[in-house]
Chains A and B, each alone.
Chain A
Amino acid sequence: MGFHLVRKTDIKIWQIALYYLAGIAVSLILGAVLLTSLEINAVDYYKDMFTAGLIGNRFPAKTIENFFVSFVPLLITSLALALSFKMRFWNIGGEGQFIIGALTSSVIALKCPNMNPFLILLLMVITGMVFSGITGLAIAFLKTKFNTNETLATLMINYIALYVIRFIGDTKADWNFFLREDSVRPKFASFEENARMPYIDIGGYHLQFSVIFTVLIAFGIWFYLKYTKQGYEISVVGDSSKTAKYAGMNVNKIVLRTMFISAAMIGLAGAFTASSSAGVSANITNNVGWTGIIVAWLSKLSIPGIVVASFLISILQYGCRIASASYPSIDSHFADLLQGIILFSVLAADFLANYKIVRRKETDNA
């Protein structure tokens, strides 16, 4: 065999970008093959998906609004996960933390029907953040104290939280204030007007406050990581925790703190989503805990990258949901499938950008 792999040393950013774009193109082609195999016109489908039904829609403002309702939690969750991943802390518990945030914040929403809308939103957000953050903190504590496997621990909490919210959603009982009283079958109650996300009306389009906050959060996280001492600490711990210790950093404290922030942010996303959709449901997460992991790695944990990637993935997901109206055999799982393929393609692109296959030259002097 005259071939072997050699690591490239100097790669330009634009080269990597090119490889990534090619990877995404290949994924879409693979998706098209899948669609064609189900006798669906891939071009039409993609058109529906990427325009998210905006073309020929009589209520485009509503569509954009709904898009943002699914974009906001994904972006915040991805940012939060990136924070822990940067520290090499495998927080796979986005789903569970999201549910905890949504569920605890909805307690406030349901128990305070007459509170000032901004005050109640603030209280909801704080509650969601605190409870979710404490969950993250607990796992981080176990990790730092006993070296408990954080991947599996955060994951188990996903399932436990899922069954808790299902239990609440399925159980009619006197204590269960989460459910509607007027319904015989168990059904989650809707929030009163005061607990719904406030918005600014721009010519019929409702710009929710959560969108504005999310933009600020993304900017804040970027600034935090790049310029603050705490952000610097995260990058050192992530690169070499030995070095961090040696430099006098309290690595355990940094891990605890960052994991609290990470989980609290996901809790915040949960609270936002509960408020935006005026209530909770068993599938309120819309899989952001999982998708967020993909987004974080697609963008190689770069904050601007995450903003772009989560936007694109949101279009994919939202578009897929819209398109499934016209294509009944394709449901929203097609978006998940496509995400998987895209991440694979990007991983492959990463490889191709960083390695080259070299053919060995034989020089004969004999």
Chain B
Amino acid sequence: MDGSEFAIELKNISKSFGSVAANKNINLTLKKGEILALLGENGSGKTTLMNMLSGIYKPDTGSVFVDGKKVVISSPEDSVKLGIGMVHQHFKLVNVFTAADNILIGKTGEGDKSFFLKKDRYDKVDAIIKNFGFELDSRKLVSNMSVSEKQTLEIVKVLYYGAKTIILDEPTAVLTVQETTKLFDVLRKMKEKGHSIIIITHKLNEVMDISDRVAILRKGEYIDTVNTSETSEKQLTELMVGRKIDLAIDRPKMEKTKPVLEIRGLSVKSDEGNLALEDVSFYLRGGEILGVAGIAGSGQKELCEALAGLRKIEAGRVLHKGEDIAGATPKQILEKGVTMSFVPEDRLGMGLAPSLSITDNVILKKYKEGKGILVDRKTGAKDAAKIIKELEIVTPSADTAVRKLSGGNVQKVLLGREIAIDPNVIVTAYPVRGLDINSSYAVYNILNEQKKKGVGILFVGEDLDVMLALCDKIMVLCHGKLMGVVHAHKTTKEELGLMMTGALNTVHRGGKTAGVAKDSAIVEDEIIYTDTEAAK
């Protein structure tokens, strides 16, 4: 090998946003031809650090060496020129362009530089894709692609621009178990061809599976780099979190109660007008956590919105304690004690008004209470103070705008408000999205407390390990169809993975129809109808 032993060296890199230090004096090395896992909790500064290599951020202090030479990366263009390519967690693709055009419009790199885009470009790009060993139709519009196709396109793009070092930011977050395996095969192949790879993740099993070495960050600081072969998941966790923690999530056992929510034959359309949920049936008992698993975009969002009355129900019934609430307004549903909290990818998009104060966000769901035309902020301030105290929210005051809080605190405000209205059904989607382990456990505890009170909880999650530990039952959605409801203690990750991709359907396993309660409030003959449907 020429030059240095290292593809990339970072020395004393620091970066802060305002008064928050995201990276503090970080030193990191990437050897040529290795796969380095960059491990750390959410908010530990992994993405920030890598974005300094991809030219999105500029370090406040410190220096970067590529192939032994000191470099200054002040734009993504510089980064591409230095042979660094990054596959961002949120894909950077132009939806209305074809795969080929997404690749070809780039400014730097090798190959075709003609003024006009020629007709034969698709064949050329097809050849390039094949040459790299991928499968992708270069004529396909990005908007028509699946998540894993988009990821493939991003990798092809990076390779096309001659990247020797490839950075992948949480590449498996949106993939199924099977797709992840495929991706890892690709990464190993690339390593064989001499590429150096950094993979950002917080999933320990994946780290053990794919990496040669692991670099750990904690709260913006560099902790250590260890050889994967010489470490264990337990040691990595300790390095990552900073102290020994009990990884087990509590699952309190509860008495069986009547279903609080019964969904029968639910069909809902997406924003684009096609069916996002198709004939989905399930039920939720009080004192139970029902997990909802599925690849991103399998209908989770639409399910939450339909239950909260935010989306039109095309067909099917939603029974709350035996009463049909399909077609009720969000307000009526709220009054029945059904709350929904959805943490979208940008975390602030739904459920909170980011510019308003904590108090104003806490009163959001009950501002109409009380007589007269005035908003009762006195009670609101009391409620806010209570939530801040009980959930240990870090904030200067209750008047602080929610957007100024850190991610964990924002989510606590959201959940705290939902719990404050004494619900009997909590629908919550991605409540730990972007939280560090401690905050995540705080959220799990909050949910378990509610469960013990007899509240039925529908938990839409991303991390199968968490769901297997926390939930009583897990239902799996694939392309808006129910693939089955399984007991969390009886199933495995692999089974869930197969169901998520639609390869396994357990709805009618063992003669029983999943999703239909024996003590259903829905009259008998309808259940029989469902079963005869299945018999056909």
Report which A residues bind B (CB closer than 8 A): 1, 4, 6-10, 227-233, 235-236, 239-240, 242-248, 250, 358, 360-366
B349 surroundings in chain A (CB, below 8 A): 240, 242-243
B353 surroundings in chain A (CB, below 8 A): 235-236, 239-240, 243-244
Measured between alpha carbons, how far is A10 from B363 in the docked complex, in Å? Answer: 26
Complex partner residue of A240 from B352, B360, B365, CB under 8 angstroms = B352
**Known pairs A228-B374, A229-B367, A240-B354. 8 more at Cβ < 8 A?**
A4-B74, A8-B18, A228-B375, A233-B367, A239-B353, A240-B350, A242-B349, A243-B364
Contact check, B12 vs A363: say whether CB atoms are below 8 A apart: yes
Contact check, A7 vs B367: say whether CB atoms are below 8 A apart: no
Contact check, A248 vs B374: say whether CB atoms are below 8 A apart: no
B331 surroundings in chain A (CB, below 8 A): 248
B18 surroundings in chain A (CB, below 8 A): 6-10
Measured between alpha carbons, how far is A247 from B340 in the docked complex, in Å? Answer: 10
Complex partner residue of B58 from A4, A228, A248, A250, CB under 8 angstroms = A4
Report which B residues bind A (CB closer than 8 A): 11-12, 17-19, 58-63, 65, 70, 74, 308, 310, 329-331, 334, 340, 342, 348-356, 360, 363-365, 367-368, 373-375
Question: A227-B375, A248-B329 given as contacts; is B58 within 8 A of A239 (CB)?
Answer: no
Measured between alpha carbons, how far is A1 from B55 in the docked complex, in Å? Answer: 13
Complex partner residue of A229 from B351, B355, B368, CB under 8 angstroms = B368
Measured between alpha carbons, how far is A232 from B308 in the docked complex, in Å? Answer: 22
B354 surroundings in chain A (CB, below 8 A): 239-240
Q: How far is the CB of B376 from chain A (nearest CB, A)?
A: 9
10 A–B contacts, CB within 8 A, in A order: A9-B19, A228-B375, A232-B363, A239-B354, A240-B348, A240-B349, A240-B354, A358-B60, A363-B63, A366-B65
Q: How far is the CB of A247 from chain B (nearest CB, A)?
A: 5
**CB-nearest residue of chain A to B62:** A363
Contact check, B364 vs A247: say whether CB atoms are below 8 A apart: yes
Q: Interface on chain A toward B: helix, strand, loop, or mixed SS?
A: mixed
Measured between alpha carbons, how far is A87 from B348 in the docked complex, in Å? Answer: 18
B374 surroundings in chain A (CB, below 8 A): 227-229
Measured between alpha carbons, how far is A358 from B60 in the docked complex, in Å? Answer: 9
**CB-nearest residue of chain A to B350:** A242
Contact check, B375 vs A229: say whether CB atoms are below 8 A apart: yes
Complex partner residue of B310 from A228, A245, A366, CB under 8 angstroms = A245
Measured between alpha carbons, how far is A312 from B61 in the docked complex, in Å? Answer: 46
B334 surroundings in chain A (CB, below 8 A): 248
Complex partner residue of A365 from B11, B329, B364, CB under 8 angstroms = B11
Contact check, A243 vs B368: say whether CB atoms are below 8 A apart: no
Q: How far is the CB of A16 from chain B (nearest CB, A)?
A: 16
Q: How far is the CB of A355 from chain B (nearest CB, A)?
A: 11
**CB-nearest residue of chain A to B365:** A247
Listed residue (A1, A232, A248, A362) with the most chain B CB atoms within 10 angstroms of its CB: A248
B330 surroundings in chain A (CB, below 8 A): 245-248
Measured between alpha carbons, how far is A242 from B65 in the docked complex, in Å? Answer: 45
Question: A235-B353, A239-B355, A247-B365 given as contacts; is B58 within 8 A of A230 (CB)?
Answer: no
**CB-nearest residue of chain A to B304:** A246
Listed residue (A6, A7, A10, A246) with the most chain B CB atoms within 10 angstroms of its CB: A246
